[in-house]
Structure 1
């Protein structure tokens, strides 16, 4: 029993481990694939559109949407002959989003950085081959990047995705890329050649940078964290106009703020592990990290965490596995 729980928890790191397909009830997996197609509450999709989006036969989609409608997860709109997210799905997601104080505190931390940098700052969580914005904050002067809560971004073409995959234990990250090669080969081709360099940079600096990958006009920087609640890596990230923030400026000016943001959000996650309303969740001003020769220096009190290990760990920072404890 313990070994099975260990395996399932480890597979959860990459939200779909191909090596564990024997443990997955396929119809449940496909039902969630259908629900993932509805990215917004107002999205309206027919069976053909759902079939094209999730790569399932239309007959299979028809059976799944019928069942999901009877469960209240979807609602059928006769006039449009399409579906939209149903009340049961909304209620379930609302119940999962309890602990609004924690979310508000995370949002405030993101806003602290957004007040200092003209970009979009986000806190994202993994969902198969994508990452989803759990919270975000945007500078009033931000241009070029307009993600909102619930937006899904590619794992292969963003700084957040680069940081997430680099922070995974190597065998977990390699398994994820292998699954991507089977299901989304174009994404795998984009991510695979860069993952070793990303791991090395994360070990040395505590963050990952991508320039012009998602868009030629956007550069990004991301810091991975360990979430005790979900036993997985989550990420704080920022996107900025490339014309204003080239790679050198990202390292020099943006990295210290984002590393400090990672510490702050990590502390909130760690304190909220047992109680979202814990009195320890206090807001403190974000300070710029001390750096030397434009290289951020982490404080001695910050753990260098091995992503993917099974022991409980601090959420304050995550670096790719390098043998340190």
Structure 2
């Protein structure tokens, strides 16, 4: 499959971009933990917006029902309508339900969790996850974010997108990582070369020193954004040799099967 072209996120010169709407969404994105309560000062710190702008945005989002407000603490929480948007998004992804039986089959075989994720800026967001039988497993659930640059699933996403979008994202990672960039760049380049040769990407102790993983990009045919499947676990239970000799091919088969039945 050829890499999919996706729209650039650059909006500085986009005259059709609605700045106020973008800022409002940044408020919603400022929440990073389950049940987190934030005040206007927290929003200002996390978004870089002025306090006066923050006050208007939080007031508006509260009036619309997307934020709940506690007058005793002067803090906001995400409200139920935000959750409804998330469920509506998941319901619009038929791949999740189609892929789950194949994911569970590989999880049962390997004993390791198998996941499907999409990009959220410089992270990968878990959209589906099937548990394996191995008691030593990664505590990553649906809705969790993991780094894009050092994980197999993030690198597989990079392998599946267009050259232009990949260049843009890599520049963002370079700017974000600073002095760590040279080592991260080497790991990404090695993963992309591995994908070009073998059809999968690896992260062997690079995201976490005791975790190994393999991932394969999934490019939907309906125009949806590129996603990626992975299988990962504790290094003593998921060795590089086992990944290369067995698990990687099974994961590639999983993606082929899902691609064949996807709309």
2:202 maps to which residue? Answer: 209
Q: Within 2, Cα distance between the matches of 1:199 and 1:185?
A: 19
Structure 1 residues 94 and 142, CA gap change in structure 2 (3 angstroms): same
For the 8 Å contact 1:162–1:191, the answer to whether it is kept is: no
Distance 1:157 1:257, change over 3 A: same
Question: What's the counterpart of residue 314 of structure 1?
Answer: none
Distance 2:233 2:84 in 1: 35
Q: State the alpha-carbon separation in 1 of the partners of residues 196 and 83 from structure 2.
A: 40
Counterpart among 7, 12, 26 of residue 21 in structure 1: 12
Work out whether 1:137 is the aligned partner of 2:130.
yes
Counterpart selection for 1:185 from 177, 200, 220: 177
TM-score scaled by length of structure 1: 0.70
Corresponding pairs, count: 257
Alpha-carbon contact 1:77-1:83 (below 8 Å) kept: yes
Q: Secondary structure at the match of 1:156?
A: coil
Aligned: 1:200 with 2:184: no
The answer to whether residue 251 in structure 2 is matched with residue 258 in structure 1 is: yes
What is the match of residue 304 of structure 1?
none
1:87–1:220 CA distance, 2 compared to 1 (3 A): same
- 2:61 corresponds in structure 1 to 68
SS of 1:72 mapped into structure 2? coil
Structure 1 residues 28 and 230, CA gap change in structure 2 (3 angstroms)? farther
Shift of 1:218: 0.6
Q: What is the deviation of 1:134?
A: 0.8
Deviates more, 1:126-135 or 1:184-193: 184-193
Q: 1:11-64: per-residue Cα shift (whole Å, max 9, x none)?
A: 53x6x2x3x432233333333232223345533223333344445454443332
Distance 1:116 1:257 in 2: 10
The residue that corresponds to 1:111 in the other structure is 104
Structure 2 unaligned runs (5+)?
A: none
On the 8 A contact 2:66/2:78 being kept in 1, the answer is yes
2:147 and 2:105 mapped to 1: Cα distance? Answer: 26
| Secondary structure of the corresponding residue to residue 141 of structure 1 | coil
2:78, 2:24 → 1: CA distance?
13
Structure 1 equivalent of residue 151 of structure 2 = 158
TM-score calculated relative to the size of structure 2: 0.85
Give ranges in structure 1 of 5+ residues lacking alignment.
Answer: 1-8, 272-325
**Could you say what the CA RMSD is over the residues aligned between the two structures, in angstroms?**
2.6
Separation (CA, whole Å) in 2 of partners of 1:262 and 1:187: 35
How many angstroms does 1:256 deviate by?
Answer: 1.5
The answer to whether the 8 A contact 1:119-1:142 is kept is: no
Q: Is the CA contact (8 Å cut-off) linking 1:156 and 1:187 kept in structure 2? A: no
Which string of whole-angstrom CA distances, capped at 9 and with x for unpartnered residues, describes residues 250-298 of structure 1? 1112111111111122234x32xxxxxxxxxxxxxxxxxxxxxxxxxxx
Q: From the two aligned structures, give the one with the greater helix fraction.
A: 2
